[in-house]
């Protein structure tokens, strides 16, 4: 009787989820704090809060996206710098670098006889040799060449989506106090849904992920709200 095929399910989009988390969490909290702080200003109106909030979202999304782009490009530059160093060492110090390959296999408990042909095969091709050293000696994975662009776009869009959530109440309601009440409720609900979905995607308990996000995001929003009200 044929057995069912074994299918391993692993989460493979951690970088994208990290970017969404960075953009969405800031987008939900910073515009909310701004809107809440402006609500306490005597001359404030819903229109003023919306205009100021949209301006903040535009500036924040650009700044966050640029930060994500520069961070990814820094990782690429670091990888390339280390790769060039390994290429030079394989040419100038072949004996030492061959020994480094052997050390990796010794760490897995292989004997000299077992690993000798493997080490010879790896060191017989410079590209394979350098790639092996980058991954197993230095612990580097080759970065996706589209990573910087994708990171910038993902963070910026996530920030915009998150930022529109707390502002939506001010767009629909003229009374500032009522709008603030709805904004708090909508923002906390969005934080829970965001955390729940993140939990499902990353393999942790969804309910716990949702509650954690609400607590952390709620505390951050409350702190930002208090600071904004104190300043205003």
Is the Cα torsion angle 193, 196, 201, 202 positive or negative in sign?
Answer: positive
Q: Helix 46-92 to helix 94-106 angle, to the nearest 10 degrees?
A: 110
Per-residue confidence (pLDDT) for residue 2, from 0 to 100: 47
Lowest mean pLDDT among 39-43, 83-87, 206-210: 39-43
The more confidently predicted of residues 32 and 222 is 32
Find out whether 76 and 149 touch, Cβ atoms under 8 Å: no
Establish how many alpha carbons lie within 13 A of residue 79's alpha carbon, considering only the half-sphere containing its beta carbon. Answer: 16
Per-residue confidence (pLDDT) for residue 41, from 0 to 100: 67
Per-residue confidence (pLDDT) for residue 10, from 0 to 100: 43
All residues at 6 or more sequence positions from 12 whose CB lies less than 8 Å from its CB, including other chains: none
Q: What confidence tens digit (pLDDT) does each residue in 172-211 have?
A: 888 888 888 888 888 888 888 888 887 777 667 778 878 8
Is the pLDDT at 9 greater than 70? The verdict is no
- Tell me how far CA of residue 39 lies from CA of 159, 176, 187, 218, in angstroms: 22, 6, 16, 18
Give the chain's length: 232
Per-residue confidence (pLDDT) for residue 202, from 0 to 100: 67
Per-residue confidence (pLDDT) for residue 70, from 0 to 100: 93
The more confidently predicted of residues 57 and 195 is 57
All residues at 6 or more sequence positions from 71 whose CB lies less than 8 Å from its CB, including other chains: 151
Q: Which of 231, 162, 180 is nearest to 45 (CA)?
A: 180
Is the Cα torsion angle 120, 123, 128, 130 positive or negative in sign?
Answer: positive
Per-residue confidence (pLDDT) for residue 159, from 0 to 100: 94
Cα–Cα distance measured from residue 52 to residue 31, given in angstroms and rounded to the nearest whole number: 9
Is the pLDDT at 122 greater than 90? The verdict is no
Q: In terms of C-beta density within 10 A (0-12 exposed, 13-18 middle, 19 or more buried), how is residue 20 classed?
A: buried
All residues at 6 or more sequence positions from 83 whose CB lies less than 8 Å from its CB, including other chains: 130, 134
Is the Cα torsion angle 158, 11, 109, 119 positive or negative in sign?
Answer: negative
Cα–Cα distance measured from residue 81 to residue 71, given in angstroms and rounded to the nearest whole number: 15
pTM: 0.76
């Amino acid at each position: 009787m044929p057995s069912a095929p074994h299918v391993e399910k692993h989460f493979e989009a951690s970088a994208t989820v990290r970017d969404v988390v960075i953009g969405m969490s800031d987008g939900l909290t910073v515009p909310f704090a701004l809107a809440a702080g402006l609500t306490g200003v005597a001359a404030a109106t819903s229109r003023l809060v919306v205009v100021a909030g949209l301006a903040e979202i535009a500036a924040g999304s650009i700044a966050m996206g640029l930060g994500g782009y520069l961070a990814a490009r820094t990782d690429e530059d670091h990888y390339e710098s280390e790769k060039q160093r390994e290429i030079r060492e394989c040419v100038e110090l072949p004996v030492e670098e061959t020994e480094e390959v052997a050390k990796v296999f010794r760490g897995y408990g292989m004997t000299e006889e077992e690993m000798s042909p493997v080490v010879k095969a790896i060191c017989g091709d410079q590209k394979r040799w350098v790639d092996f050293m980058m991954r197993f000696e230095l612990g580097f994975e080759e970065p996706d060449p589209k990573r910087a662009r994708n990171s910038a776009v993902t963070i910026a869009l996530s920030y915009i989506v998150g930022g529109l959530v707390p502002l939506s109440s001010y767009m629909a309601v003229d009374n500032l106090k009522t709008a603030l009440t709805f904004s708090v409720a909508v923002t906390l609900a969005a934080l829970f849904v965001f955390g729940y979905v993140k939990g499902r995607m990353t393999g942790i308990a969804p309910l716990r992920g949702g509650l954690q996000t609400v607590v952390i995001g709620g505390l951050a929003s409350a702190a930002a709200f208090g600071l904004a009200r104190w300043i205003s």
